[in-house]
Amino acid sequence: MRPRTLDEFVGQSHLLGAGSALRSAIEHGRPHSMILYGPPGSGKTTLARLVAEHSRAAFEELSAVQAGRAEVRAVIERAEHRRSLAPAEGGESPGAPGASAGPGEGQGATILFLDEIHRFNKAQQDALLPAVEEGLLTLIGATTENPAFEVNGALLSRTRVYALQALSDEHVAELLGRAAEQSAGGTPVDEDAIAFLSARSEGDARTALNALELAVATAAEAGEQRVTLARVEDALQRRAVLYDKAGDRHYDYASAWIKATRGSDPDASLYYLAVMLEGGEDPRFIVRRMVILASEDIGNADPQALSLATAAAAAVEHVGLPEARYALAQAAIYLALAPKSDAAGRALGAAQRHVREHGAQPAPAWLRSGPRPGQDKADYDNPHRHPGHLGPQQLLPEQVVGQRFYEPDEAEAQLDARLREIRRARGVEPR
């Protein structure tokens, strides 16, 4: 069901629209080294094969999951042999074992498609550098991970990165409709079944097509004349949750959980927590985000939030999954419903900016640990000796007097009242 032409390719119009640089390069048989970065089932492998189809080059394909430096070396040797046999002007030459030849292989060019390129370590990626740099190989790498973090800078600088997007429901439906017409064994597929698969495949054409294939086979075995919604529901539920614990989905769902919880939506908070747990996320990573959020986004609006988050962290360490999920759920709900305040973070940020801009001023002599040589002892005025335990002695460096870093917001009403009382007692004008 892979598209055989660019016109059959579905989606990625931002890369392959009429007149685009990539489409023009492919159509005119001018392949260049590139990294195709995108989610599963977005068409990376298909696009690489279309590049090869339109070029006068041999096509080699490796999976970084299974291949190592020896396999890369073998590809390079075949590329060198192929180039050595290339006639000066036109003509034909024999192919090399292990490669599929495109038209005009005699030109000696070789395209290496390396799937899951992020699986290669630095040494393995370095082995490709000389061949790519001298033009012996045109490298097309495919990855679901951000190449800025997973591909060596030297190799990345010799390639162009093209970011593919997850397919829309309409694009997936188009692919499923084509598959149903051409290769479903003559068994009609109900429209609501295609609509369901399209909506639930998360833009992953491979997942949708695999589920359709299973549904068609199951329906045929049962002697059914149509593939129904019930059949595709049954087929799709066997798919595991799509989640990469070290890649974009890891960070995307963590970000979604933080923002949903900060936004005080317990249902959204629980949903993203469930996605992370079902995807196999490390619960210690999750609970660390909870502890951070308790201080960063709730703070003194509800100091108990930090206690609850650290208690959940202790539960994760002492109990572990699956039982610790109850503590995680309890913490997620509490954090979502707690009043929110970022005043503490803003206050510290303001103080740090002042220090960076003006330097660290020495503390008043009466606050230091003791007198320095040649200095008289300064008396510290203990506030416990004053009514209300509030003394008049200045506590900021002289150069910083008058600066106010902490201003409570409406979620910290009790602290605001206490601060006003303290400032009045110490003769500080209220703002």
Residue 424 or residue 42, greater confidence: 42
Query: Whose CA is closest to 144, among 190, 82, 88, 203?
Result: 203
Task: Identify the weakest region by mean pLDDT among 85-94, 124-133, 224-233, 352-361.
Answer: 85-94
Residue 244 is predicted with a pLDDT of 61
CA distance linking residue 203 with residue 420, whole number of Å: 55
At 431, the pLDDT band (50, 70, 90 cuts) reads low
157 is written with which tokens? 């600088």
Percentage of residues in the chain having pLDDT higher than 90: 29
Interval 262-286: pLDDT, tens: 999 999 999 999 988 887 788 999 9
Q: Is the pTM of this model over 0.75?
A: no
**Cβ distance 22 to 59 under 8 Å?**
no
User: Residue 34: beta bridge partners?
Assistant: 140, 160
Give the angle 308-312-316 at the CA atoms, nearest 5°.
170
Residue 57 is predicted with a pLDDT of 84
Interval 79-136: pLDDT, tens: 998 888 876 544 444 444 444 444 334 457 889 999 998 888 888 888 888 899 888 8
Task: Give, for 230, the enclosing helix (H) or strand (E).
Answer: helix 229-236
Q: What secondary structure does DSSP assign to 27-73, as a single string?
A: HTT----EEEE--TTSSHHHHHHHHHHHSSEEEEEEETTT--HHHHH
What are the φ and ψ backbone dihedral angles of 185, each rounded to 5 degrees? Answer: 65, 25
CA distance linking residue 309 with residue 314, whole number of Å: 9
160-163 vs 138-143, strand pairing mode = unpaired
- Mean pLDDT, the chain, rounded, equals 84
